[in-house]
Structure 1
Amino acid sequence: MRIVLDLQGCQSVSRLRGIGRYSLALAKAIVRNAGDHEVWIVLSDLFPDTIEDIRASFEGLLPSERIATFSLPKLTPYQGAHDWRARAAELIREYAIAELEPDLVHISSLFEGYVDTSMTSVKAFDKTTLVAVTLYDLIPFLNPAKYLPDEGRRQHYYAKIEALKRADVLLAISEYCGEEARRELGIPASRIASISSAVADSFVRLEQNDADVRKLYSRFGISRPFLMTTGIVEPRKNLDGLIVAYSKLPKELRQRYQLFIVCQPTDLDRTRLNELARKHDMSADELVLASYVSDRDLIALYSQCQLFVFPSLHEGFGLPALEAMACGAAVIGSATTSVPEVIGREDALFNPLDLDQMADMMHRALTDEAYWQSLRDTAPERVSKFSWDATGLRALEAFESAYAQRSGAELSTGSSVIARKSAESRYRSLVGALSRLGASGSDIDLIASADAIAANQRAQRVRQLLVDVSVLSAFDAKSGIQRVTRSILLSLLNSPPAGWAVRPVRLDRQEMAYRYANDYLRSVNAADAEFQDKDEWVDTQQGDIFLGLDLIADTAPAAVGWFTAQRNRGVQIYFVVYDLLPVLRPEWFHEGIALCFPSWVETIARVSDGLIGISRAVIDDVKGWLEGAAPVRLRDLKLGYFHLGADIENSQPSSGLPDNADKVLEALRSKPTFVMVGTVEPRKGHVQAFAAFELLWADNVDVNLVIVGKAGWGVEGLPERLSERAEQDDRFFWLQGISDEYLERVYGASSCLLAASLGEGFGLPLIEAAQKGLPIIARDIPVFREVAGDHAFYFEGDTPQALADAVQAWIELDRTGLAPSSVKMPWLTWKQSAEKLNEVVLEGKWYQTWGKLQGDPAKA
Structure 2
Amino acid sequence: MNIFFDHQTFSQQNYGGISRYFCELIAGINQQPTDHQAHLSLLVSNNAHLQEKGLGTVSFFPNLPFHRTQPFIYKLNKAFNRLEMRTRSYDVFHATYYEPYFLEHIRKRPVVVTFLDMIHEKYHTVFPELAADHQVMAWKKEIVNRASAIIAISENTKRDLIDYYRIPPERIRVIYLGSSVSVEQVTPETTTESPYLLFVGNRGIYKNFEPFLRAVAPLLRAHQVRLVCAGGGAFTPREIAILQELMVTQLVEHKPITDTTLRQLYSRALAFVFPSLYEGFGIPVLEAFACNCPILLSNRSSLPEIAGSAALYFDPDDAVSMQQATERMLTDARLRQTLRQQGHQQLLQFSWEKTVRETLDLYQRL
TM > 0.5 fold call: yes
User: Secondary structure of 2:101's partner?
Assistant: coil
Deviation at 1:367, TM superposition (A): 0.7
Residue in structure 2 matched with residue 148 of structure 1 by the alignment: 130
| Higher relative contact order, structure no. (Cα contacts within 8 Å, ≥ 6 residues apart) | 2
Residues in 2 aligned to 1:343 and 1:320: alpha-carbon distance in whole angstroms: 11
Structure 1 unaligned spans of 5+: 69-74, 79-84, 112-119, 215-222, 404-860
User: Secondary structure of 1:289's partner?
Assistant: strand
Residue in structure 1 matched with residue 111 of structure 2 by the alignment: 131
Residues in 1 aligned to 2:108 and 2:220: alpha-carbon distance in whole angstroms: 62
User: Secondary structure of 1:288's partner?
Assistant: strand
Q: Are 1:273 and 2:239 an aligned pair?
A: yes
Alignment-mate amino acid for residue 6 of structure 1: D
Q: Are 1:45 and 2:39 an aligned pair?
A: no
Residues in 2 aligned to 1:21 and 1:177: alpha-carbon distance in whole angstroms: 19
Residue in structure 1 matched with residue 227 of structure 2 by the alignment: 259
Aligned residue among 307, 311, 322 for 2:275: 311
Aligned residue among 195, 202, 218 for 1:225: 195
Residues in 1 aligned to 2:292 and 2:272: alpha-carbon distance in whole angstroms: 10
Residues in 1 aligned to 2:262 and 2:301: alpha-carbon distance in whole angstroms: 25
Deviation at 1:362, TM superposition (A): 1.2
Question: Which deviations, in whole Å up to 9, do the C-alpha atoms of 1:590-634 show, x marking residues without a partner?
Answer: xxxxxxxxxxxxxxxxxxxxxxxxxxxxxxxxxxxxxxxxxxxxx
Alignment-mate amino acid for residue 216 of structure 2: Y
Question: Does the 8 Å CA contact 2:189/2:267 hold for their aligned counterparts?
Answer: no
User: Secondary structure of 1:232's partner?
Assistant: coil
Residues in 2 aligned to 1:56 and 1:235: alpha-carbon distance in whole angstroms: 29
Deviation at 1:228, TM superposition (A): 0.5
Deviation at 1:131, TM superposition (A): 1.2
User: Secondary structure of 2:39's partner?
Assistant: strand
Residue in structure 1 matched with residue 65 of structure 2 by the alignment: none
Question: Does the 8 Å CA contact 1:318/1:338 hold for their aligned counterparts?
Answer: yes
1:441-520 residue pairs with structure 2 within 5 A? none
Alignment-mate amino acid for residue 4 of structure 2: V
Name the larger-Rg structure. 1
1:155-554 residue pairs with structure 2 within 5 A? 155=135, 157-202=137-182, 204=184, 206-207=186-187, 213=191, 224-249=194-219, 251-253=221-223, 255=224, 257-265=225-233, 269-280=235-246, 282-291=247-256, 293-345=257-309, 348-401=312-365, 403=366
Alpha-carbon spacing, 1:127–1:341, altered in 2? closer, same or farther (3 Å): same
Alpha-carbon spacing, 1:131–1:209, altered in 2? closer, same or farther (3 Å): closer
Deviation at 1:56, TM superposition (A): 6.9
Residues in 2 aligned to 1:90 and 1:274: alpha-carbon distance in whole angstroms: 39
Question: Does the 8 Å CA contact 1:317/1:339 hold for their aligned counterparts?
Answer: yes
Q: Are 1:109 and 2:97 an aligned pair?
A: yes
Residue in structure 2 matched with residue 566 of structure 1 by the alignment: none
Alpha-carbon spacing, 1:371–1:191, altered in 2? closer, same or farther (3 Å): same
Alpha-carbon spacing, 1:15–1:186, altered in 2? closer, same or farther (3 Å): farther
Question: Does the 8 Å CA contact 1:3/1:103 hold for their aligned counterparts?
Answer: yes
User: Secondary structure of 2:103's partner?
Assistant: coil
Question: Does the 8 Å CA contact 1:231/1:262 hold for their aligned counterparts?
Answer: yes
Question: Which deviations, in whole Å up to 9, do the C-alpha atoms of 1:39-58 show, x marking residues without a partner?
Answer: 132232143x559x737724
Question: Does the 8 Å CA contact 2:98/2:140 hold for their aligned counterparts?
Answer: yes
Question: Does the 8 Å CA contact 2:275/2:298 hold for their aligned counterparts?
Answer: yes
Residues in 1 aligned to 2:51 and 2:278: alpha-carbon distance in whole angstroms: 33
Aligned residue among 15, 33, 50 for 1:54: 50
Alpha-carbon spacing, 1:31–1:178, altered in 2? closer, same or farther (3 Å): farther
Alignment-mate amino acid for residue 154 of structure 1: H
User: Secondary structure of 2:114's partner?
Assistant: strand
Question: Which deviations, in whole Å up to 9, do the C-alpha atoms of 1:152-187 show, x marking residues without a partner?
Answer: x32355234423432211211111112211221123
Structure 2 unaligned spans of 5+: 59-68
Alignment-mate amino acid for residue 238 of structure 1: N
How many residues align? The count is 354
Residues in 1 aligned to 2:71 and 2:268: alpha-carbon distance in whole angstroms: 39
Residue in structure 1 matched with residue 71 of structure 2 by the alignment: 77
User: Secondary structure of 1:20's partner?
Assistant: helix
Alignment-mate amino acid for residue 120 of structure 2: P
Alignment-mate amino acid for residue 200 of structure 1: S
Question: Does the 8 Å CA contact 1:305/1:329 hold for their aligned counterparts?
Answer: yes
Deviation at 1:265, TM superposition (A): 3.0
Residues in 2 aligned to 1:15 and 1:187: alpha-carbon distance in whole angstroms: 32
Deviation at 1:208, TM superposition (A): 5.8
Question: Which deviations, in whole Å up to 9, do the C-alpha atoms of 1:175-219 show, x marking residues without a partner?
Answer: 111221122112332321110111025455633666xx57xxxxx
Deviation at 1:361, TM superposition (A): 1.1
Deviation at 1:327, TM superposition (A): 0.6
Alpha-carbon spacing, 1:284–1:380, altered in 2? closer, same or farther (3 Å): same
Question: Does the 8 Å CA contact 2:215/2:319 hold for their aligned counterparts?
Answer: yes
Question: Does the 8 Å CA contact 2:220/2:226 hold for their aligned counterparts?
Answer: no
Percent identity between the aligned chains?
A: 25
User: Secondary structure of 2:13's partner?
Assistant: helix
Question: Does the 8 Å CA contact 1:199/1:388 hold for their aligned counterparts?
Answer: yes
Question: Does the 8 Å CA contact 2:150/2:172 hold for their aligned counterparts?
Answer: yes
Deviation at 1:250, TM superposition (A): 6.7
Alignment RMSD (CA, Å): 3.1
User: Secondary structure of 2:41's partner?
Assistant: strand
Alignment-mate amino acid for residue 263 of structure 2: I
Deviation at 1:104, TM superposition (A): 0.2
Alignment-mate amino acid for residue 41 of structure 1: H
Residues in 1 aligned to 2:175 and 2:136: alpha-carbon distance in whole angstroms: 26
Alpha-carbon spacing, 1:378–1:235, altered in 2? closer, same or farther (3 Å): same
Residue in structure 2 matched with residue 472 of structure 1 by the alignment: none
